[in-house]
Chains A and B, each alone.
Chain A
Amino acid sequence: MDSRRRAPVIGPKVRQVGFVTPNADSPGEGVMEKEAGNLTTNSPTPVTIAPTRPVIEIPHSLKADPVAVPSPSHRRGNEVDIPSAPTASYNPNDSVLDGSSLPSSKGGSTINDVYGSLVSESVAESSPLGRPTGSTVGAFAERVKQKTSDSAIGSAVIDGGVASGKPGKGSKANNRGIPALSSSDAKSSEAPADGSKPLKERTSKAERRAKQEADRAAKLAGKGTGGGAGGDPNAQTKNSKGKKDNAPEKKSVQAPEKKGSDKSSENQKKKEVPAPRLQFDDKERVAKSKRRSLVEQTETKNRVELFRHLPQFVYGTQLPSLEAKFFQDDAMHPHPAVYQVGLQYLTGDIVGGNARCVAMLMALRSMIIDYETPPEKTLVRDLVTRTNNHVNFLITCRPLSISMGNAIRLLKAKIAKLDPSLPEAEAKASLIADIDTFMLEKIVFADKEIVKHAVTKIRDGDVVLTHGYSSVVEMILVRAKEMGKKFRVVVIDSRPKLEGRRLLRSLLSKDIHCTYTHTNAVPYIMQEVTRVFLGAASVLANGTVYARVGTACVAMVAHSCGVPVMICCETYKFHERVQLDSITSNELGDPDALVKVAGRKESALEGWADNEHLQLLNLTYDATPADYVSMIITELGMVPPTSVPVILREYRKEPAV
Chain B
Amino acid sequence: MKADKAVEDVGESAKVAGGVTFEWLRQAEDASLLTTPARPTATDHGDSSFSVIEEFNYWRMQPDLAEAVAAIKALTAVIRRSQASTMMGLEIELKNASEALKAWDETSIPLSAGCDLFLRYVTRTTALEYEDIRAGKARLIERGERFGEISQKARRTIAMLGQDFILNGSTILTHGFSRVVLNLLKLAASNGKHFNVICTEGRPDNTGAKVAIELLAAGIPVTLILDSGVGYMMEKVDMLLVGAEGVVESGGIINYIGTFQSALVARSMNKPVYVAAESYKFARLYPLEQRDLGPSPCHVEFVEPVPEDAKVENTARDYTPPNYLTLLFTDLGVLTPSAVSDELIQLYL
Interface of A with B (CB < 8 Å)? 457, 459, 564, 630-631, 636-640, 642-643, 646-647, 650-651
Contact = CB atoms under 8 A, between A and B. Distances in A.
A348 B291 CA distance: 43
Contact of A643 (B19, B284, B289, B341): B341
B349 interface: yes
A636 B349 contact: yes
B288 A639 contact: no
B251 A640 contact: yes
Given A640-B250, A640-B251, A564 B349 contact: no
Interface of B: 19, 249-251, 284, 286, 288-289, 291, 322, 338, 341-342, 345-346, 348-349
7 contacts: A457-B288, A631-B288, A636-B349, A640-B251, A640-B338, A643-B341, A650-B19
Given A637-B349, A638-B249, A640-B249, A646 B288 contact: no
A224 B338 CA distance: 60
Given A631-B286, A642-B338, A650 B346 contact: yes
A642 B291 CA distance: 24
A630 to B, nearest CB: 6
- In the A-B complex, the 10 residue pairs with the smallest Cβ-Cβ separation, listed nearest first, are A642-B338, A643-B341, A564-B288, A638-B286, A646-B342, A640-B250, A646-B345, A640-B341, A636-B349, A639-B341
B346 A646 contact: yes
A640 B345 CA distance: 11
Nearest to A626: B338
A643 B288 contact: no
Contacts of B338: 640, 642-643
Contacts of A630: 250, 288
Given A640-B249, A643-B342, A646-B345, 12 more contacts: A459-B291, A630-B250, A636-B345, A636-B349, A637-B284, A639-B345, A640-B250, A640-B251, A643-B341, A643-B345, A647-B345, A650-B345
Contact of B341 (A457, A459, A564, A646): A646
Contacts of B249: 637-640
Nearest to B288: A564
Contacts of B341: 639-640, 642-643, 646
Contacts of A636: 345, 349
A639 B19 CA distance: 18
B112 to A, nearest CB: 15
Name the residue in A638, A639, A640, A647 with the highest tally of chain B Cβ atoms < 10 Å from its Cβ.
A640
Contacts of A651: 349
Nearest to B338: A642
A459 B250 CA distance: 20
Nearest to B323: A627
A569 B291 CA distance: 25
A651 B349 CA distance: 9
Contacts of B345: 636, 639, 643, 646-647, 650
Contacts of A647: 345
Contacts of A650: 19, 345-346, 349
Contacts of A631: 250, 286, 288
Contacts of A639: 249, 341, 345
B198 to A, nearest CB: 30
Name the residue in A457, A631, A643 with the highest tally of chain B Cβ atoms < 10 Å from its Cβ.
A643
B284 A564 contact: no
A631 B249 CA distance: 10
Given A636-B349, A643-B341, A564 B289 contact: yes
B24 to A, nearest CB: 19
Nearest to A645: B342
B117 to A, nearest CB: 15
A377 to B, nearest CB: 39
Nearest to B285: A638
Contacts of A638: 249, 286
Nearest to A453: B286
A491 B187 CA distance: 56
Contacts of B286: 631, 638
A162 B132 CA distance: 67
Contacts of B289: 564
A636 B341 CA distance: 12
A564 B290 CA distance: 12
Nearest to A636: B349
Contacts of B284: 637
Contacts of A642: 338, 341
A640 B349 contact: no
A418 B161 CA distance: 50
A459 B291 CA distance: 10
Nearest to B286: A638
A509 B180 CA distance: 55
Contacts of B19: 650
Contacts of B349: 636-637, 650-651
A480 to B, nearest CB: 16
Contacts of A637: 249, 284, 348-349
A40 B349 CA distance: 48
Contacts of B348: 637
